[in-house]
Amino acid sequence: MRRIVVVGASAAGLAAAETLRREGYDGTLTLVGDEPRAPYDRPPLSKQVLSGEWEPERLDLRTPDDLAGLDLDLRLGIPATGLRLADAEVELADGSTAAYDGLIVATGVRPRRLPGEGGHVLRTLDDAVRLRDRLAPGKRLVVVGAGFLGAEAAAVARRLGCEVTLLEPAPVPLAHAVGTVVGEVLTSAHLERGIGLRCGVTVTEVTGHGVRLAGGELVEADEVLVAVGSLPNTDWLDGSGLTVGDGVVCDAYCEAARGVYAAGDVARWYNPLFGTSMRIEHRTNAAEQGMAAARNLLRPEARKPFAPVPYFWSDQYDMKIQAYGYLRGHDEVAVVEGDLAERRFVAAYRTGERITGALAVGMPPRVIRQWRQAIATGASWREVVKIDAIAN
């Protein structure tokens, strides 16, 4: 194998490229990215960058010297537009191609948008800086979507003195992921700080004066942030022959086709630890999966299933939220430590007969890490959780 192409120059793609070099690959290594910037970190966009605490340069994942040391054929600002499996070539927006013996797809996701004009999204550095420059004391911000991204941005804007309204179609924000009671506890932090929350509403359009709800009501705003989820960047793979279904469909080894692997937010792979296919949009998973895909591509005879315990975190006001496992689709939630009312607690999640997740708010990292091992070993719920469950 003398030519490897990695499409996607963010956390997963960079981790894959570095792993290939670290594992001894010395052939041509092409890294393709749709943004002109060198690889940078995304989690701080909705927190430190949006608040103005960090300047953009702090996001760089590696220095120019670090990147130079990888000896990359670096093609930034040139999106991939097509894949010809039969010819083993990636087509690029500038009309060139990148031939490969092995390919790693790490093209990430893009924000969902709403009909209408105006409105911000929050995915790239430019997005974050653009919104940051519009936030000021007294400005009215409407955030459509009260998931983790929307909640983080709302918290920052409120600290900056903005009047913030959160609009959420579900009855309780985040209930689908963390359960109703935990979702209510997290939401209470926003209500206490004066954020206006409206649940069970549907936004049909972004206008120049705010957003229009189903039924015709206009919610006025100076700025609108749309945070209603994301779509995997797979359009460029149309007609390629790869199986695409809410991401690039892969097996347990992250392989999508012979010699083609996927990693990061765009990859839907079978995680044998949980016995289900999943697509994870978390920073830690992106890096770990990039490394795993690179190793499996480079040494297929010794490849290993990618079976992580996913991890994510979120910072909102003074709340540090951390979680391990796969919380979605859970059957039961139990508070196993701390107190909900104080927003200092650990909640454990059951799916079937085993513990599949744990979420902590306001607790030291060592506390939640204890639960990672129980999840990784498939511990029985009855053996681990000794108290009554709270309602979902």
Q: What local confidence, expressed as pLDDT, does residue 385 receive?
A: 81
- Which has the closest alpha carbon to 114: 157, 158, 156, 150? 150
Q: Is residue 278 domain-shared with residue 297, that is, in the same domain?
A: yes
Do the domain assignments include residue 313?
A: no
**What are the E-state strand segments in 209-291?**
210-213, 218-220, 223-226, 230-232, 248-249, 255-257, 260-262, 267-271, 276-278
> Quick one: which of 295, 322, 318, 321 has its CA closest to 306?
295
Report the mean per-residue pLDDT for the chain.
Answer: 95
Q: Is 388 helix (H, G, I), strand (E, B) or coil?
A: coil
Q: Which two tokens mark 171?
A: 């009855």
Q: Using CA atoms, how far apart are residues 315 and 236, in angstroms rounded to an integer? A: 34
pLDDT at 258 over 70: yes
Dihedral-angle region of residue 208 (phi above 0 means left; psi in -120 to 50 means alpha; beta otherwise): alpha
The pTM is what? 0.94
Looking at the predicted structure, is the pLDDT value of residue 9 above 50? yes
Q: Which tens digit of pLDDT belongs to each residue from 68-108?
A: 999 999 999 999 999 999 999 999 999 999 999 999 999 99
Digit-coded pLDDT (tens) for 115-128: 998 899 999 999 99
Q: What is the CATH number of the domain that holds 53?
A: 3.50.50.60
Write down the pLDDT at residue 392. 54
> Which pLDDT does position 391 carry in this prediction?
47
Please tell me whether residues 40 and 88 are part of one structural domain. Answer: yes
Tell me which of 178-182, 271-275, 380-384 is least confident: 380-384
Amino acid, res. 133: D
How many structural domains comprise the chain?
3
Asked if residue 51 and residue 13 are part of one domain, the reply reads yes
Pair 92, 128 in one domain: no
Q: Determine the pLDDT at residue 176.
A: 87
On whether both 236 and 105 belong to a single domain, the answer is yes
Q: Is residue 293 in a domain?
A: yes
Q: How far apart are CA 219 and CA 200, in angstroms?
A: 14
- 245, part of any domain: yes
pLDDT at 383: 83
The 10s digit of each residue's pLDDT in 191-219 is 999 999 999 999 999 999 999 999 999 99
Whole-angstrom distance, CA of residue 94 vs CA of residue 232: 22
Q: pLDDT tens-digit profile of 278-334? A: 999 999 999 999 999 999 999 999 999 999 999 999 999 999 999 999 998 899 999
Is residue 311 domain-resident? no
356: domain CATH number is 3.30.390.30
**What one-letter code names the amino acid at 121?**
V
Claim to verify: residue 151 and residue 220 sit in the same structural domain: yes
Helix (H) or strand (E) holding 293: helix 283-298
Can you give the residue range of the structural domain that contains 261?
Answer: 3-110+230-302
Mean pLDDT for the stretch of residues 359-386? 90
Locate 154 and state its tokens.
Answer: 């709302």
Strand pairing of 260-262 and 102-105?
A: parallel
Q: Please indicate, yes or no, whether residues 87 and 44 belong to a single structural domain of this protein.
A: yes
Same domain, 106 and 239: yes
What distance separates the 2 farthest-apart alpha carbons in the chain?
Answer: 62
**Mean per-residue pLDDT, 33-45:** 96
Residue 390 in domain? no
Counted residue by residue, the chain has a size of 392
Based on the fold, state whether residues 102 and 235 are members of the same structural domain. Answer: yes
